[in-house]
Structure 1
């Protein structure tokens, strides 16, 4: 039986996923509500698949994916997201997640996605795959695509209203390093303050309103 660790900061969402997975004969061996907890519990629980929400307080899902794979390069991770953008799937798959699934997908696709990832195969829901293909054909790139991986993480945290000190603590960086990333993010995105960064993120669907 495939062992699954659920990572989502909403208890009701985890309950729904647990029921769907149980119906499909998967074993949910743990539930946590943050990326930090996922990294802490992973060595003890030893799941076959980690189902990771991307939009969580603290380090968030994308950073948690990076840290889990640093712990265990063979970790198999399915990223879940409510975002409709193309930047998040590109970033998290590049970071090493095997699968990406939009939360709007049909319920039965969760079992299919976990099955694929558990066997080491890549999985992407049809809507995300189409969006990525169209964006590539049209050259419709998000301005956030110009950011490095660390700059993107800082940008998303800032857009959600986090302070430099909070970001530094969450990402294990010094405030001065975060400040340097912030300067580069503003330069690349043509923003002068945090409010403008939030507007850019909202306009491109990188955060939820």
Structure 2
């Protein structure tokens, strides 16, 4: 069975180039073209594409809206973005909207056929520069240095843990009382219990122990 493809490209010359590339592959069948972004859903109502190639020339919000609607109306179709933009925020938005591929316009001759085949076979595809951009995003947003967290249980109450957390962040007695909305005498009683449980004799020793043992209280 052929891979059924629909393209959305506003630039006439580039649209013809994409059609030429698709026509050279016997396993590809071009079943539709989106030339009017205002009526794309009605124009595609009877189509059953495997791959939809979307141009990111329109605003990112418009394309994301298109992706959402296409995914609702054609849940079996996979979205491949082709764009001149390699701005990280654009890439992030369309991938979050549901696109499973992203290639740059100047790389169509190199990667379009492979991208379509990879996506049709259950994978995803991004050209090397886009892959690098996605890795940059992941490293910025989610990757943090791994830390050893000490799980030693000093049997502190929740309020005592909060007090230790404030001290570990550099707050003093008055600031801690204000942050936790407790009276000074109440705080003193908690601190006395903390000293006994953690076997320390001063605030300096307490903070030093928290950092030395990599204890995490909040």
TM range (shorter): 0.5 to 0.7
Aligned equivalents of 1:58, 1:41: Cα separation in 2:
21
> Unpaired segments of 5 or more residues in structure 2?
142-218
SS in 2 for 1:24: coil
Counterparts of 1:35-50 in structure 2 under 5 Å? Answer: 35-50=37-52
Q: CA RMSD in A?
A: 2.2
Taking the aligned partners of 1:72 and 1:78, their CA distance within structure 2 comes to 14
CA shift, 1:85, in A, is: 0.5
1:91 Cα offset (Å)? 1.1
Secondary structure of 1:92's partner? helix
Instruction: Describe the shift of the 1:27–1:72 C-alpha distance in structure 2 as closer, same or farther (beyond 3 A).
Output: closer
- Match in the other structure for 2:169: none
1:106 Cα deviation after fit? 5.0
Answer whether contact 1:100 1:125 (CA < 8 A) is retained. Answer: yes
Give the equivalent residue in structure 1 for 2:130: 128
Q: 1:54 pairs with 53, 56, 76, which one?
A: 56
- 1:45-69 CA-to-partner distances (Å, cap 9, x unmatched) read 2111110112237973222111111
The whole-number CA distance in structure 1 between the counterparts of 2:23 and 2:113 is 10
TM-score (norm 2): 0.58
Q: Give structure 1 stretches of 5+ with no counterpart.
A: 140-209
**How many corresponding residue pairs?**
139
Query: Structure 1 106/70 Cα, relative in aligned 2: closer, same or farther at 3 Å?
Result: closer
Q: Which runs of 4+ in 1 moved over 6 A?
A: none
Which structure carries more relative contact order (alpha carbon 8 Å, separation 6+)?
1
For the residues of structure 2 that align with 1:59 and 1:40, how far apart are their CA atoms?
20
